[in-house]
Amino acid sequence: MEKNKAILPNILTWARKKSPWILHFNSGGCNGCDIELLSLLTPSYDIERFGILNEASPRHADILVCTGPVTEQVRPRLKRIYDQIPEPKWVLAVGSCSCSGGVFSGAYNILGGIDKLLPVDMYVPGCPCRPETIIDGIIKLVESIQ
Amino acid sequence: MTRIVVPIGPQHPLLKEPISFLISLDGERVVNSSLRLGYVHRGIEKLAQQRTYVQNVYLIERICGICSHIHTTTYCQAIETLLGLDVPRRGLYIRTLLCELERIHSHLLWLGVLAKNIGLDTIFMYSWRDREIVLKMMEEISGGRVSHAVNIIGGVRIDLDADRLTMLESGLNDLNGRVEELIGTIERDRSFAARTRGIGKLTLEDVKSFCVVGPVARASGLDIDLRRDAPYAAYHELEIEVPVMNEGDVWARSMIRMREILQASRLAKQIIRTLPKGPVSTTAPRKVPPGEVVSRAEAPRGEVFYYLRSNGSQQPERLKIRTPTLTNLITLPEQLKDVQMADVSAVIAGVDLCIACADR
Amino acid sequence: MKMENILKKLIDALGLDSPTTMLGIPTEEHVLQILPTQLLSVVAKLGEYGVWHLSTITCLQDERFILLYHFWCFGNLTLRIELEPDDLRVPSICPLIPGAEYYEREVQEMYGIEFQGLPNPQPLLLPDNWKGGYPMRKDEHSNSSAAGEDRSKKLKGGLS
């Protein structure tokens, strides 16, 4: 029994690393990163070979992938979606405006980057990011899971 | 009978961008629907008034990632008109070439989204695979897959050499074959027809009264296309035929867009064959003389409208942007009336929404 | 019918001032200055002559507020209305052109111009909890860094 307790967290970490499911949310971006993120699903990039699945419901996801800066209207929604994701959870900020507000910083309806609202685990810069960059970001995040 | 209200969005597998629908149902039938925009509203019009004309080219490109080039085209040609600049013909041709490549990219992307929304994942995979061809071509000539940063005030930033032109020509030939195959598939496929025929109907009167633009209007029998009717860039020197259909449903819109892909590829080939020689850009002054200008262009989704007012400084005094999705969105409650709940996804996809454009 | 002929008929029918022009692509845009009270009759007449496509409504702020109604129908026409700052009201053209609803709602929330008879005066683009006034007005600086700091403080308090 004692031995099992020690093994269980290892198994869970192993399982999480093997199948990180992502939830994509556009928090106010221009679409550029979104279409690059979606092209990850297609045959040219095919992220499913890493066990990554684009999931539609926050309750099934491990990683929240945000594209775009946080707008005022989206802010409560983003917080709610983050709260709905079961622990442990990670946040990936994709794109320059998602990292810092980027070109939109200073606008009246923009709060700034995702880290103004949520704890971000990995930043993927680029305007817009290439699909390879996004894959790299997700893989690096998964590798960092302890 | 009690009605059920189904919320769709802002985060929903149907929607790639946040927008929110409230759909009231009587059984399976939609009786009423409303929508809420503004989730992606960034305040670009205000922001543009605080930056210089040159900085704005970068900002304007980020209104929308799918049709980024048409926004900078409309913006740059507005300023060029105010300045009275004579943009070199080669520059205009390259600008037009990118517009057409972008149209191909946008329509293939849209076909994938529609197919995914109605459950035909195979077509989604095929159309997005073929889309990579045009993305690669655009990357090869401009350095960017979805944002190209090709336009500058006074022309374009890139030039095309003979190798690139050969690459483009062979890429377009490759693409043509694949698009024709895709068209054949969706024309013959019974399940595609069953999910798209007769739903999301708009009559010619609806289209006129709601000021609808682009392929949605052309699918309802309205023969407008700014490339032909108010030519900008190099379009007055090119041969354009505008596909028009009368059914006004999602099926007709699909067919219109698929034909436009072939048409865009023909236009691109025309441009490659007749590309004039000379410089691609001319130097533009930083300050713009006072004045007002209206600029229109035909984006993949329809008419883009820019109004620019200058007060003689380095910053625009007012920049008004109206994107095609905003006008086409108004018709959605009309289109959703009386459709089955299961068809809502097809109707929403059929309009080809770009919320980032609509919200700005 | 060509836009020039439409304009001529319109001016004769309603006794309006002669049009001016502003720059446009590929041809110049005709600008017709009218009074707020004439708006509905002009738009109705335009509808009769077959001009149905309203591109958008632009609002400008000078000493007065200016509304520009940009029409397009195989030719350009812009209606220009000036409004005194103490009377920011115009009739809504939604009954004549249902497609104008979003444009009017946008101008209403961005500049505070009241469109009388607008069927759905809910906010279009601004967030539900917006309290910052009319963001597009020139005296409105809700995007200053002070506002940003204020917001981040609020958030830290709210996130635990």
**Over residues C130-155, mean pLDDT:** 58
Contacts with A104 from chain B: Cβ below 8 Å: 42-44, 47, 62
Q: At C6, which helix (H) or strand (E)?
A: helix C3-14
Specify the pLDDT at position B107.
Answer: 92
Q: Rounded CA gap, C116 and C29, in Å?
A: 28
| B332 pLDDT higher than 80 | yes
A111, B8, B12, B17, B18 from A85: Cα distances, Å: 22, 19, 15, 19, 18
Q: Which of C132, C151, C159 sits opposite A111 (nearest CB)?
A: C151
Query: What pLDDT was estimated at residue C31?
Result: 86
Task: Tell me how close the Cα of B191 comes to any Cα of chain C, in angstroms.
Answer: 33
- What is the set of domains in chain B, with CATH numbers? 40-359 (1.10.645.10)
Q: pLDDT at position C158, please?
A: 34
Q: Does B45 touch chain A (CB under 8 A)?
A: no
* Alpha carbon of B96: minimum distance to chain A alpha carbons (Å): 21
- The angle formed by the CA atoms of residues B93, B96 and B99, to the nearest 5 degrees, is 155
CA C61 to chain centre: 11
Q: For residue range B217-273, what is the model confidence (pLDDT) as tens digits?
A: 888 888 888 888 888 888 888 888 888 888 888 889 999 999 899 999 989 988 998
Q: What is the DSSP string of chain A?
A: -HHHHHHHHHHHHHHHHH--EEEEEESS--SHHHHHHHGGGSTTT-GGGGT-EEESSGGG-SEEEEESPEETTTHHHHHHHHHHSPSS-EEEEESHHHHH-GGGTT-TTEEESGGGTS--SEEE--TTPPHHHHHHHHHHHHHT--
Q: Is A28 on the interface with B (CB under 8 A)?
A: yes
Residue B164 scores a pLDDT above 60: yes
| CB < 8 Å to A42, chain B | 124-125, 128-129, 132
What percent of chain B is modeled with pLDDT above 90?
Answer: 8
Does the pLDDT at position B347 exceed 50? yes
Rounded CA-CA distance A94/A37 in Å is: 9
The Cβ-side half-sphere exposure at C70, using a 13 Å CA radius, reads 25
Confidence (pLDDT) at C140:
67
Q: Closest CB to C143: pick one of A108, A116, A117.
A: A108
The Cα of B344 is separated from the nearest Cα of chain C by a number of Å equal to 22
Q: For C63-108, write each residue's pLDDT tens digit.
A: 888 889 988 887 788 888 888 888 888 888 888 888 888 888 888 8
Q: List helix spans (H) across B118-243.
A: 121-142, 162-188, 190-196, 204-209, 214-218, 226-229
Using a CB-CB cut-off of 8 Å, the residues of chain C touching A73 are 126-128
pLDDT at C141: 61
C139 interface with A at CB cutoff 8 Å: no
Cα A47 to the center of its chain, rounded Å: 14
Q: Is A107 close to B109, i.e. CB distance below 8 A?
A: no
CB C79 within 8 Å of CB C45: no
CA–CA distances in Å: residue C101 to residues B27, B42, C97: 30, 21, 8
Tokens at B304, concatenated:
């883009």
| Paired tokens of A22 | 């992502």
Across chain B, what does the average pLDDT equal?
A: 87
> Do the beta carbons of residue C40 and residue C46 sit within 8 Å?
no
A107 interfaces chain C, CB cutoff of 8 Å: yes
Spatial CA neighbour of A99 closest among A67, A64, A59 = A67
User: B233 is written with which tokens?
Assistant: 């860039």
pLDDT of residue C146: 38
Closest CA to C100 of C35, C140, C46, C37: C46
Please report residues of A whose CB lies closer than 8 A to that of B115.
none
pLDDT of chain A, 146 residues: tens digit per residue = 566 667 887 887 787 778 888 888 888 888 888 888 888 888 888 888 888 888 888 888 888 988 888 888 888 888 888 998 888 888 989 888 888 888 888 788 888 888 888 888 889 888 888 888 888 888 888 888 77
Domains and CATH numbers, chain A: 20-143 (3.40.50.12280)
Assess whether pLDDT exceeds 50 at residue C17.
yes
For residue A111, the chain C residue with the least C-alpha distance is: C148
pLDDT at C151 over 50: no
Q: Which residues of B touch A97 (CB under 8 A)?
A: 62
Confidence of residue C12 (pLDDT cuts 50, 70, 90): confident
Amino acid at A42: T
Q: Average the pLDDT over C134-144 and give the result.
A: 68
Determine the Cα–Cα distance for residues B90 and B277; give it in Å rounded to an integer.
6
Q: Averaged over B49-66, what is the pLDDT?
A: 87
Q: What pLDDT does residue B72 have?
A: 92
Structural domains for chain C: 3-140 (3.30.460.80)
pLDDT digits (tens, 9 = 90+) for B104-113: 999 999 998 8
CB distance from C128 to chain A under 8 Å? yes
